[in-house]
Amino acid sequence: MHIVVCVKQVPDTKVIKINPKTNTLDRRGVPSILNPYDTHAVQEAVHLKQQYGGKVSVLSMGPPQATAVIKKSIEIGADEGYLISDRAFAGADTLATSYALTKALEKISKTSPIDMVFCGKHAIDGDTGQVGPGIAKRLDIPPITNISAITKVTKDYVELQRKLQDGYAYIRSTLPCLITIEKEINEIEYASFPNMLKAVHFQPVVWSVDHLENVDRKQLGLKGSPTVVGKMFAPPKQEGGHRLEGTPEEQVKQLVEVLKDKQDLFHVNKS
């Protein structure tokens, strides 16, 4: 079984700040991390490898620094790493990203056929979740999104638990297929010492556009991206409501008064 996990390097959005005067991002000192959903995807692929044999490769598109997230994947237990890196990829939206990643996946599968492609449910910077289904469409394999458990794997098919708005669907899909991973699928384990050592020295295979085959350059990067950012603006200010004044006791008293006619919404805890 050969699983390829698409992994993205993202800014740690927890520490990004906006400059309120200019409405621009302040990226100074913002660390980059492996997209959390992709971390779970790599972990899941490694679990499957341990159970069923085979190997796990990871693929990333990004600047040379993105090597860091490939090394991180090696720590978790991935075997091989590929980085596609070229100015021509820069500025890609989800359509152009899925195109470039698909070209790399096609090249990988030539030497080592792929049974499953894993993506994260979404990347925490862009938050779209559009790249995975896009790759599946381009590779003409079924996409199954929002996977919270892989319940059975055979040579020809997999059975999956897919998270819905209000419950779960159990799905069987033929292989190869592409799935996108939810966080609840597993717990991230501590990296083993040998894997950590391996990661330190690991160098991914790096491909530029010229290494990929049958590429239509018009579909790459900024040129290949139908969407553009029109403008950035502060969200419309809303009228703030009423301020309650005074000591905590006084404020609470006013609140209790305000909520008098809403008390049927409250239920006394009987326990």
Ligand X SMILES: Cc1cc2nc3c(=O)[nH]c(=O)nc-3n(C[C@H](O)[C@H](O)[C@H](O)COP(=O)(O)OP(=O)(O)OC[C@H]3O[C@@H](n4cnc5c(N)ncnc54)[C@H](O)[C@@H]3O)c2cc1C
Give me the least distance between CB of 14 and ligand X, in Å please. 7
Q: Which is nearer to another protein, 8 or 162 (CB)?
A: 162
Selected range binding another protein among 38-46, 49-57, 69-77, 142-150, rule: CB under 8 A: 142-150
Answer yes or no: are the C-beta atoms of 84 and 100 closer than 8 Å.
yes
Report which of 44, 54, 52, 51 is spatially closest to residue 80, judged by C-alpha positions.
Answer: 54
- Counting contacts by CB under 6 A, is residue 126 touching ligand AMP? yes
Give the span between the Cα atoms of 125 and 11, in whole angstroms: 7
Q: Which does 6 bind (CB under 5 to 8 A by kind): ligand AMP, another protein, ligand X, none?
A: ligand AMP
The tokens of 106 are what? 């096609």
Q: What residues pair up with 26 in beta bridges, in sequence order?
A: 17
Selected range binding another protein among 42-50, 62-70, 103-111, 170-178, rule: CB under 8 A: 170-178
Give me the least distance between CB of 235 and ligand AMP, in Å please. 22
Number of neighbouring beta carbons within 10 Å of residue 144: 20
- Written as one letter, the residue type at 116 is M
Give the span between the Cα atoms of 30 and 24, in whole angstroms: 14
Q: Which residues bind ligand X (CB under 6 A)?
A: 13, 124, 127
Answer yes or no: are the C-beta atoms of 69 and 192 closer than 8 Å.
no
Selected range binding ligand AMP among 18-26, 73-81, 124-132, 140-148, rule: CB under 6 A: 124-132
Give me the least distance between CB of 235 and another protein, in Å please. 5
Give me the least distance between CB of 157 and ligand AMP, in Å please. 22
